[in-house]
Structure 1
Amino acid sequence: MSPFAFDISLEEFEAKVLLPAETVPVLVDFWAPWCEPCKVLKPLLEKLAEEYAGRFLLAKVNADENQELAQHFGVRSIPSVKVLFQGQLVDEFNGALPENQLRAFIDRVALPAGPATASPREQAAALAAEGQPEAALAILAEASRQAPNDEAIRLDAAELLIGLGRNDEAQQLLAAEYAQESARAAALRARLALAAGSADTAPLEAKLAANPDDHATRLELARAYAAQNRFREALEAALEVVRRDRFFDEGAGRKALLQLFEALAGEQYDDLVREYRRKLSAALN
């Protein structure tokens, strides 16, 4: 199945259309098997979805099987294409457009093209930095299909999935062997283990405020901060346990810091890890 074009039902609409549409335009194509113009438009849309490689997504809805969706969008004839983006219906058309008109329509609603010289990983990184992780994942999925042995592409996708809280999907990617990228894969596995903890910090912060010497709660809070990608706060909480009682629970504070150092291995967090390695050394001496 293409990462850029997929069939959906009513039950999948929120997960596969509404959520991705927060960051990338989604063209919703209402069609039916008996509709002759649909047989012209649908394959053309699918071809362009692949060509545009994540600048828009194509969600295909069988109007006969999903009449509630068709009624919700006021579909009176098919094919009918609705464009959703950032919670809004931003454009639409009915009927089968010729390819030149369809390209012009898509160019108007799709995300801007990245630099022609940018690699798929660079394009995905730029989209992620712009707050468009779903579009970035779509580009990485297609790049991985084209280069299935490129471990860096798969790990980029795993890192994005962890950031989105899609831990089961990240786990599937990280279950593979990574001979060339073993250190980064180990770091992401460690980060995934941290992300599996509770991310609700408010009750823990309140409990710790009532008893600042509750070292177990402070370590639990460090794990919760890590699950929210608040890594500096996680490191500081674990370090505070070392400062207050380095021997608590057989050195649990130091062990928590070492786990965080492993999870943050890589260029992005090098400065932060170096800073807290120095602070740990000072606390222990």
Structure 2
Amino acid sequence: MSQFSFDVSIEDFETKVLAPAQDVPVVIDFWAPWCEPCKVLKPMLEKLAEEYAGRFLLAMVDSDANPELAQHFGVRSIPSVKVLFQGQLVDEFNGALPEGQLREFLERIALPAGPGGNLREEAAALVTEGKLEEALAKLVEASKAKPDDQAVQLDAIDVLMQLGRNDEAQQLLAGEFAQEAERANALRARLALAAGAADTAELEAKLAANPADHATRLDLSRAYAAQSRFREAFEAALEVVIRDRAFGEGAGRKAILQLFEALGGSEQYDDLIREFRRKMSAALN
């Protein structure tokens, strides 16, 4: 629970939801403890409420404990999300959305971003175009405008790592990131992978001479990861799983899991992680 997301019951609904909804959109998440899709949606909403930092508020209603509220809002299945703003129901959806679609929904209903918000989006676009130095400059500007925005700080650390400026990234990651702990830990895991950098050309030549050298293939996977060549890192580790899943007490699988940990929390790698989760599952079954 935080200032941006909180549990609500029928007793405090007026003070926690109706009153603040006059000034800021309030997203009401109807959920229940037994609901499996709710367990997917609820933590995503909580994370995004922190990230949006007051551009909307998140009110979570246990529909089993508050059937009157669920009935009032016409909730027939859960999770069910309703948005109140200035006395009106302005938007809604049912079911658990993927994070990308959830962000699109929230962008439609959230208050406009304050100083620094658009800069972060501009930086993300520059990263996609490979303009890392320009993206970093945008993020520094955004951080000056919103010095407490940990998401912006971690974006900058991510870009520093892509630029190979790992010493700077490590110094910044030494700080506390309570609001973005999962992503900060993922970046620390990536930094640990980068510490094992090796000459990929030498490893590739060694592997070409002996394709059954699984240890070298795993070294190559780590070397690719250190260079942010994550698809190649996954492919090399997966090849070890396919060729000999028992090698090194499951070292190939462990290498893939380490990559999942290192890339988790960064939306840009979500599709890659999903792809290799499927491939690893297929290889192990």
Tell me how far apart the structure 1 counterparts of residues 279 and 130 of structure 2 sit (CA, whole Å).
33
- The reply on whether 1:185 has 2:167 as its aligned counterpart is no
Partner residue of 1:138? Answer: 137
Deviation at 1:124, TM superposition (A): 2.1
CA distance in 2, matches of 1:127, 1:278: 30
Whole-Å Cα distance in 1 between the matches of residues 206 and 138 of structure 2? 44
Indicate conservation of the 8 Å contact 1:199/1:228, yes or no.
Answer: no
Give the structure 2 partner of residue 127 of structure 1. Answer: 126
How far does residue 117 in structure 1 lie from its aligned partner after superposition? 9.7
Distance in 2 between residues matched to 1:253 and 1:273, nearest whole Å: 15
Letter paired with 1:276: F
- Aligned partner of residue 240 in structure 1, secondary structure: helix
TM score, norm. by length of structure 2? 0.56
Indicate the larger mover: 124-133 or 211-220. Answer: 124-133
Q: Could you tell me how far 1:147 is from its partner in structure 2?
A: 2.0
Distance 1:236 1:222 in 2: 8
Task: Summarize deviations over 1:8-54 as a string: whole Å, max 9, x none.
Answer: xxxxxxxxxxxxxxxxxxxxxxxxxxxxxxxxxxxxxxxxxxxxxxx
1:169 is matched with 168
Partner residue of 1:149?
Answer: 148
Compared CA separation, residues 206 and 126, structure 1 to 2 (3 A)? same
Provide the identity percentage: 73
1:261 is displaced (CA, Å) by: 0.8
Cα 1:127–1:240 change in 2 (3 A) is closer
* Paired residue type of 2:250: G
Query: Which runs of no fewer than 5 residues in structure 1 stay unpaired?
Result: 1-115
What amino acid is aligned across from residue 278 of structure 1 in structure 2? R
1:41-89 C-alpha deviation (Å, 9 max, x unpaired) = xxxxxxxxxxxxxxxxxxxxxxxxxxxxxxxxxxxxxxxxxxxxxxxxx
Matched, 1:274 2:274: yes
The code of the aligned residue for 1:149 comes to D
| 1:159 aligned partner, one-letter code | D
Q: Is the 8 A contact 2:116 2:146 kept in 1?
A: no
Alignment correspondent of 2:77 = none
The structure-2 alpha-carbon separation of the partners of 1:122 and 1:211, relative to structure 1 and needing over 3 Å to count, comes to: same
Superposed, which structure 2 residues align to 1:46-195 within 5 Å?
A: 119-195=118-194
Instruction: Return the alpha-carbon distance in structure 2 between the equivalents of residues 154 and 250 of structure 1.
Output: 38
> How many residues align structurally?
170
Q: Deviations over 1:116-157 (max 9, x none)?
A: 996121222233344432232223223223322110111010
Normalised TM-score (structure 1): 0.56
Q: Is the 8 Å Cα contact of residues 116 and 143 (structure 2) preserved in structure 1? A: no
2:220 is aligned with 1:214: no
How far apart are the structure 2 equivalents of 1:132 and 1:280?
32
Q: Is the Cα contact below 8 Å between 1:194 and 1:223 reproduced in 2?
A: yes
Name the counterpart of 2:203: 204
CA radius of gyration, larger in: 1
For the structure 1 residues 172 and 280, does the alpha-carbon distance in structure 2 shift closer, same or farther, using more than 3 Å as the test?
same
Structure 2, unaligned runs of 5 or more: 1-114
Q: Give the corresponding residue for 1:254.
A: 253
2:118 maps to a residue whose letter is S
